[in-house]
Chains A and B, each alone.
Chain A
Amino acid sequence: MVADLQETDIRETTPNEIEKDNLKKIIKQTFPLLFISLIGSLFAGLILGGMEETLKTIPGLIVVVPAVLDMRGNIYGALGSRLSTGLHQGLIEPKLIYERNLIVAISAALFNGGVVSIVLGASAYLTLNILKIKVISLFELIAITFLSGITSGLILTVIVLISLFIGFKKGIDPDNLVGPVVTVSGDIFSILILFLVAKLIIGGI
Chain B
Amino acid sequence: MDLPELLVLVPVIIGLGGNLGSILGSRITSGLHLGYINFSLQNKTLLLNITAIYILSVLIFSLLGITGSIFSEIFNIGGNISLDIFILISLISGFLITTVMILITIISSYITYKTTIDPDSTVLPIVTSLCDLIGISIFYYVVEIFF
Residue numbers of A with Cβ under 8 A of B are 15, 19, 22-23, 26-27, 30-31, 34-35, 37-42, 44-46, 48-49, 66, 69-70, 73-75, 77-78, 80-82, 84-85, 88-89, 175-176, 178-180, 182-183, 187
**A42 and B33: CB pair below 8 A?**
no
9 contacts between A and B (CB under 8 A): A23-B55, A27-B59, A37-B16, A40-B15, A45-B7, A49-B8, A80-B26, A180-B23, A187-B15
Judge whether A179 and B22 touch: CB under 8 Å: yes
Q: List 10 tightest A-B contacts by C-beta distance, closest first.
A: A179-B22, A41-B15, A74-B125, A45-B11, A175-B26, A41-B12, A26-B52, A77-B124, A179-B19, A82-B120
B residues with CB within 8 A of A: 7-12, 15-16, 18-23, 25-27, 29-30, 33-34, 44, 48-49, 51-52, 55-56, 59-60, 63-64, 67-68, 71, 75, 120-121, 123-125, 128-129, 132
Contact A81 B63, CB 8 Å, known A23-B51, A41-B15, A180-B19 = no
Chain B residues with CB under 8 A of A84? 26, 30
Closest B residue to A19 by beta carbon equals B48
A41 contacts B59, CB within 8 Å? no
20 new A-B contacts at CB < 8 Å, known A175-B30, A187-B15: A23-B55, A31-B56, A34-B16, A35-B60, A35-B63, A38-B16, A40-B15, A42-B11, A46-B8, A74-B125, A81-B120, A82-B121, A84-B26, A88-B33, A88-B34, A176-B23, A176-B26, A179-B19, A180-B19, A187-B11
Which A-chain residue is minimally distant from B55 (CB atoms)?
A: A27
* Interface contact B15-A37, CB-CB below 8 Å: yes
Contact yes or no, B60 A42, CB < 8 A = no
Asked if A42 and B8 make an inter-chain contact with CB atoms under 8 angstroms apart, the answer reads: yes
> Smallest CB-CB separation from B126: which chain A residue?
A74
Structural contact, A31 and B11, CB atoms closer than 8 A: no
CA distance A49 to B77 in the complex (A): 11
Docked CA distance A176–B7 (Å): 28
* Assembled-state Cα–Cα distance A180/B144 (Å): 29
Q: Which of B9, B12, B18 contacts A179 (CB 8 A)?
A: B18
Q: Is the CB of B132 within 8 A of A66?
A: yes
Interface secondary structure of B, over-half rule: helix
- Does the CB pair A42–B12 fall under 8 Å? yes
Q: From B10, B44, B56, give the contact of A15 (CB < 8 A).
A: B44
A44 touches B55 (CB 8 A): no
Q: Do B27 and A175 touch across chains, with their CB atoms under 8 A apart? A: yes
The chain A residue sitting closest to B121, CB to CB, is: A78
Whether A44 contacts B11 by the Cβ 8 Å rule is: yes
Report chain A residues within 8 Å CB of B64: 38
Give the distance in Å from the alpha carbon of A45 to the alpha carbon of B16 in the complex: 13
Task: Choose among B8, B9, B15, B25 the residue with the greatest number of A CB atoms under 10 Å from its CB.
Answer: B15
What are the residues of chain B within 8 A of A38 when measuring CB–CB? 12, 15-16, 60, 63-64, 67
Q: Would you call B29 and A81 a contact (CB within 8 A)?
A: yes
Which A-chain residue is minimally distant from B125 (CB atoms)?
A74
